[in-house]
Amino acid sequence: MAVQTEKGDNYEIKDITLKEDGLKTMEWAASRMPVLQIIKNRFIKEKPLKGVRIGACLHVTKETSQLCEAWLAGGAEVYLCASNPLSTQDEITAALVSKGVNVYAWKFMDSEGYYRSIGNVIKARPHITIDDGADVVSIMHKLKRGETDEQVEIIKKVIGESTDYIDSVWAGAEETTTGIIRLQAMSDDGALLHPIMATNSSPCKNMFDNVYGTGQSSIDGILRATADLIASKVFVVAGYGHCGKGVATRAKGMGARRVIVTEIEPHAALQATMDGMEVMPMTEAAKIADIIITATGCKDVIRKEHFEVMKDQCNIGNAGHFNIEINIPDLEELSTGKTQIRPFVEQYTMKDVRKINLLGEGRLINLAAAEGHPSEIMDLSFALQALASEYAVKHKKELSEMGGKVVQIPKEIDDNVAILKCEAMGITLDTLTPEQEKYLSSWRVGT
Ligand code: NAI
């Protein structure tokens, strides 16, 4: 059943009276995101985003509220919709509306509401888009190509018949691995019409957010959903990239009896082995698993042949971007029905009476059942996003000359974020002596 929402001139959210709770939660996040506060304070003075319209499709959480505040401080108009139907914190949407952000998001939105909200962001004709999974950018391109489908039809009810919304965009930024893969494929095909800054590819994002953020918050999501013990369990992680590494190492730290990794890539498989994980195919791992979490960005990682051999009461969840890593239609087909046992746990009864527990509808477990990455981690990712927006304004001409390319955020910006975070955490770096600098920069010195 569709959630009842409240609509105003600049919002569609769950409940505007949740504002006070949201403001308190925003304060909590602010005190844990010092780098973003430094950027915000500079933006208040310099107003680098004056007159700029930012259209963001992100997880609408307390951390995102801090990014929105930085954009507002810089003088931007901000339009925000959700990048996932389950991850929105409703009290934050109410607080953000009170701060002047245009917000279209609520938890448990259905597909119609999801695309209507994206339509509201597109309708604002943003100059800069910020995506988490490339939804806004993909749909703007689809409109321009004159393609139509169910999603476009929903959006057209909001924006009308114009197809030229993408013409207002100077540049975009993309937050996650899956989005970058999609956008790079568009660029390779010559289908991307404007530059995209690959926030996810910056060290300050993927070394911390994907690893430590996804690692801790996925375990948090599993625990909140199931309240099960991890110690003594057989814990399987599909994919040993940035996210999988974080989940597997934290599962080990929580005392899992065996942590098993499934991989398709030899280096990742070797690294998992040398990190002390077992590596085997999913067909073998599924037979012994108590918990399986996917973090691959690939589809059908858990499918029919795996459901057929799973143990009774196996918990399965996903930490990758889309809800395609677990083949839910296969699970439906093999089962006689499902029961909502607890929030975020649907229990499927298989035809042979085994029960399999699907967590968070197969969507990002850390955002569906928990609160996403801790604020301290998002401080890094969103500091990059705030500075990427400023960069897009300052370098509008250069970026537009690049055309449809996926580009890195400049190293100086990433280094600056890392330095500010070290300072905020009281980490003092060593410095090179002049002799050392000379040694490292010259091929004539040494050996
Ligand atoms: P990555 O590219 O570093 O790692 C993915 C790994 O999965 C690779 O080692 C690859 O070889 C492996 N893989 C691919 N297909 C596989 C299959 N069928 N079976 C087994 N292994 C397979 O990517 P990263 O950064 O770890 O991201 C993974 C996913 O998580 C993406 O969808 C990304 O968007 C998402 N993500 C989720 C976050 C969250 O909050 N839950 C945060 C950041 C990223």
Q: Are residues 127 and 174 in the same domain?
A: yes
Q: 105-119: buried (b, 16+ CB within 10 Å) or exposed (e) per residue?
A: bbbebeeebbbbbbb
Residues 195 and 217 in one domain: no
Hey, which bits of 30-184 come out as E strands? 53-58, 77-82, 102-104, 128-131, 171-174
Q: Cα of 176 to ligand 1 centre, how many Å?
A: 10
Please name which of 193, 186, 235, 191 lies closest in space to residue 215, comparing C-alpha atoms.
Answer: 235
Q: What is the pLDDT of residues 295-313, one digit of tens each?
A: 999 999 999 999 999 999 9
Distance CA 405, CA 189 (A): 11
Structure confidence at residue 61 as a pLDDT band (50, 70, 90): very high
Mean pLDDT of 74-92: 97
- Strand-pair category, 196-198 with 345-350: unpaired
Cβ-contact 316, 347 below 8 angstroms: no
Same domain, 125 and 164: yes
Which CATH number goes with the domain that contains 312? 3.40.50.720
pLDDT band, residue 425 (cuts 50/70/90): very high
State the pTM of this model.
Answer: 0.94
Instruction: Say whether pLDDT at 226 is over 70.
Output: yes
Would you place residue 443 in the very low, low, confident or very high pLDDT band (cuts 50, 70, 90)?
Answer: confident
Q: How confident is the model at residue 414 (pLDDT cuts 50, 70, 90)?
A: very high
Whether residue 84 has its Cβ less than 6 Å from ligand 1: no
Kindly state whether residues 301 and 381 are assigned to the same domain. no
Specify the number of domains making up the chain: 2
CB-based contacts of 380: which residues, under 8 Å, 6+ apart? 35, 204, 205, 208, 209, 417, 418, 421
Question: Which residue has the least CA distance to atom 30 on ligand 1?
Answer: 320
Whether 431 is covered by a domain: the verdict is no
CATH number at residue 40: 3.40.50.1480
pLDDT of 282 higher than 70: yes
Whether 444 is covered by a domain: the verdict is no
Cα Rg, the chain, nearest whole Å: 22
Number of neighbours of residue 15 by Cβ within 10 angstroms: 15
Residue 430 domain-assigned (yes or no): no
310 and 177 in a common domain = no
- How many Å lie between the centroid of ligand 1 and the Cα of residue 439? 39
Give residue 81's pLDDT.
98
Q: Which domain holds residue 83?
A: 6-201+373-424
Q: How confident is the model over 326-367, as pLDDT tens digits? A: 999 999 999 999 999 999 999 999 999 999 999 999 999 999
**Residue 1 in this model has a pLDDT that exceeds 70:** no
- Are residue 103 and residue 251 in the same domain, yes or no? no
Q: What is the per-residue pLDDT across 181-225, written as a single tens digit (0 to 9) for each? A: 999 999 999 999 999 999 999 999 999 999 999 999 999 999 999
Q: Is the residue at 437 inside a domain?
A: no
How much distance in Å is there from the Cα of 218 to the middle of ligand 1? 13
Decide whether any atom of ligand 1 lies within 6 Å of the 318 Cβ: no
Mutate which of 181, 208, 210, 236 for ligand 1? The one with the most ligand atoms within 8 Å of its CB, which is 210
Say which amino acid occupies 256: A
In a domain, 389, yes or no: yes
Cβ atoms within 10 Å of 353's Cβ, excluding its own: 8
Query: Confidence class of residue 55 from pLDDT cuts 50, 70 and 90?
Result: very high
φ, ψ for residue 55 (rounded to 5)? -110, 110
17 and 142 in a common domain = yes
For residue 2, the model assigns a pLDDT of 81
Share of the chain above pLDDT 70, in %: 99
C-beta neighbour count of 247 within 10 angstroms = 31
Whether residues 268 and 338 fall in one domain: yes
Query: So what's the pLDDT on residue 44?
Result: 98
Pick from 94, 104, 108, 110: nearest CA to 62? 94
88 lines ligand 1 (CB under 6 A): no
- Asked whether residue 189 falls in the same domain as residue 219, the answer is no
Is the predicted pLDDT of residue 15 greater than 70, yes or no?
yes
Helix (H), strand (E) at residue 392: helix 375-394
Q: Residues near 315 by Cβ (< 8 Å), separated by ≥ 6? A: 222, 226, 228, 290, 291, 292, 345, 357, 359
Report the nearest-CA residue for atom 33 of ligand 1.
Answer: 177
Give the closest residue to 227 by CA, choosing from 359, 371, 364.
359
Give distance in angstroms: CA of 298 to centre of ligand 1.
7
pLDDT for position 107 = 96
Residues 101 and 32 in one domain: yes
Task: Using alpha carbons, list the distances in angstroms from residue 254 to 258, 298, 379.
Answer: 11, 26, 25
pLDDT at residue 49 is higher than 80: yes
Q: Is residue 429 part of a domain?
A: no
The reply to whether 22 and 138 lie within a common domain is yes
As beta bridge partners, residue 128 has 54, 171
User: What own/partner pairs with CB < 8 Å and gap ≥ 24 does 422-427 have?
Assistant: 424/34, 424/35, 424/38, 424/379
357-401 pLDDT, tens per residue? 999 999 999 999 999 999 999 999 999 999 999 999 999 999 999
Q: Is residue 432 part of a domain?
A: no
Best of 59, 87, 176 to mutate for ligand 1, by most ligand atoms within 8 A of CB?
176
Ligand 1 centre to CA of 239 (Å) is: 6
**Is residue 319 in contact with ligand 1, taking CB distance under 6 Å?**
yes
In this structure, are 323 and 395 located in the same domain? Answer: no
In a domain, 300, yes or no: yes
Nearest to 402 by CA among 202, 198, 194, 199: 194
Mean of the per-residue pLDDT values for the chain?
97
What's the confidence (pLDDT) of residue 446?
Answer: 66
